[in-house]
Amino acid sequence: MLTRSEEDHIKAVYALLQEGESAFTKDIAECLRTKASSVTDMLKRLAEKGYLKHEPYYGAKLTAKGRSLALQLVRKHRLWETFLVERLGFGWDEVHDVAEQMEHVASDKLIDKLDAYLGRPHFDPHGDPIPDRNGKLRQRKTKRLDSCKPGETVRIAAVSETTDGLLRLLDSKGLRIGTTLAVQEVHAFDGSMDVKPKSGSAFSLSKDVSHHLQVENP
Amino acid sequence: MLTRSEEDHIKAVYALLQEGESAFTKDIAECLRTKASSVTDMLKRLAEKGYLKHEPYYGAKLTAKGRSLALQLVRKHRLWETFLVERLGFGWDEVHDVAEQMEHVASDKLIDKLDAYLGRPHFDPHGDPIPDRNGKLRQRKTKRLDSCKPGETVRIAAVSETTDGLLRLLDSKGLRIGTTLAVQEVHAFDGSMDVKPKSGSAFSLSKDVSHHLQVENP
DNA sequence: AAAATAGATTAGACCAGGCTAAACTATTGT
DNA sequence: ACAATAGTTTAGCCTGGTCTAATCTATTTT
């Protein structure tokens, strides 16, 4: 049985590797609001238990065992987020911290029943894919909104940054998962972009926002 | 913020006092599967924080603050049990351990929304009362089945012992919360009791079983 | 190539929370 | 009344997980 802190470290390594960055000690520390020295200790312990490979001074890589555990945690986190938003009526910007606690409840049967209860969803309220029981992720071919050209019409598939501020901003502009947008113009000066939702009038999005919106062809 | 272990100790003291027994160190230790010495340490810490009064050699009593906290924990536990049974389809004998973990998730908003989602129930799947937001318990006038006389007809209101074994036994005999029974005969020899459910034929219950069934007038 | 620097690791301390063993209190039996 | 006993507390130790300070390694600058 792993402790909560051990699970958190594995999740952090997984999350950092996901984004293409390598999982360096200081990044993990920042991610978990702890100190680099504590992370080093933990990486050694987790390496001994076989969840990851720790190359001193060159960061950490998950083993198959570690990756599988991380995917189970992601699965639990996203299922609970889905429950909180769809069943209990939380806003999508409020659920992260609570789901963070719930994902550490240990019971395979619980997660399987929750999954069934929610209708075995493939995506969470932020549009992120939910791994299945075996850790398989359903992939979609998405791109970032800031890589789109004027004239394209796309649907919002996911938000890749779940800070409260961004989620509330999107909410206030009426941008949800599934919203369809036409890209009208991209300004070279600051990378900002004029978009027009299917229903409603056009407005502008800064690059900071469009960078974090994953879109797909409608 | 209290740790999980601190919360568990407060809950144990509350539970022991509920049953009329006084909360002695060894009982708490047994209840939490820990050692008396560890309990003494914890009682001192909790007394300093104002959750209970610790009279050395004479056990512990909760303060108002401690009782209020215990009631919040009981509320969370019973609401999660209700969710697990009514929404996820768990059997009533399977939910205790999982609810034990979920009750430590900290979010008042979560509990309030869960309560609303479940229709603000007053009793959990074992028939135990669920304290409201302010810690008020709805009381019923119940008695133990083993105190009933032949000829009485009563309804099962609660099961006061939630071991898997007892719950499965009741399940197999078709005894649920709400089942109505007629007491036919009580045998002085061993305290066993012949009962007849409204629908179905009579059978015998040992005193060990009837002792843990809370019943009310139908 | 040597110096400077960013980052990682080690060493050593601390705290919470658990344990065992020994010492202490209260109660019970004779 | 005093010895035995049941139960509680104290003292001291251990582990997991955190920290700071000091040291070490790799990289970048000059």
Nearest-Cα distance to chain B for A110, in Å, is 8
- Averaged pLDDT for residues B14-22: 75
Beta carbon of A101 within 7 Å of strand C?
no
pLDDT beyond 70 at A218: yes
Beta carbon of B25 within 7 Å of strand D?
yes
Which pLDDT value is given to residue B153?
96
- Averaged pLDDT for residues A54-71: 88
- Averaged pLDDT for residues A162-172: 86
Which pLDDT value is given to residue B112?
97
Q: If you measure CA to CA, which chain B residue comes closest to A109?
A: B90
Give the least confident one: A66-75, A107-116, B14-23, B116-125.
B14-23
- Nearest Cα neighbor of A87 from B24, B88, B214 is B88
Q: Which nucleotide is nearest to A26 (CA to C1')?
A: C7
Supply the mean pLDDT for chain A.
91
Q: If you measure CA to CA, which chain B residue comes closest to A105?
A: B101
Share of chain A above pLDDT 90, in %: 57
Q: Which nucleotide is nearest to B35 (CA to C1')?
A: C19
Residues from chain A contacting residue B101 (CB–CB below 8 Å): 104-107
Residues from chain A contacting residue B90 (CB–CB below 8 Å): 109, 113
Question: SS3 for B174?
Answer: coil
Domains, chain A, with CATH or none = 4-62 (1.10.10.10), 143-216 (2.30.30.90)
Which pLDDT value is given to residue B21?
61
Nearest-Cα distance to chain A for B183, in Å, is 38
Alpha carbon distances (Å) from B127 to A139, A185, B82: 46, 63, 10
Place B161 in a pLDDT band, splitting at 50, 70 and 90: confident
pLDDT beyond 90 at A17: no
Report whether B174 contacts B197 (CB < 8 A): yes
Residues 16-45 of A with CB under 7 A from strand D: 34-35, 37-38, 41-42, 45
**Straight-line distance from the first to the last Cα atom of chain A, in angstroms, rounded to the nearest whole number:** 44
Of A90, A97, A107, the CB nearest to B113: A90
Which pLDDT value is given to residue B110?
97
- Averaged pLDDT for residues A156-172: 86
At A193, give phi and psi (nearest 5°).
-145, 135
Nearest-Cα distance to chain B for A1, in Å, is 15
- Nearest Cα neighbor of A124 from A5, A207, A214, A210 is A214
Which pLDDT value is given to residue B166?
87
Which pLDDT value is given to residue A110?
97
pLDDT beyond 60 at B20: no
**How do residues B184-214 score in pLDDT, each as one tens digit?**
999 999 999 999 999 889 999 999 999 999 9
Report whether B180 contacts B155 (CB < 8 A): yes
Place B56 in a pLDDT band, splitting at 50, 70 and 90: confident
pLDDT beyond 80 at A55: yes
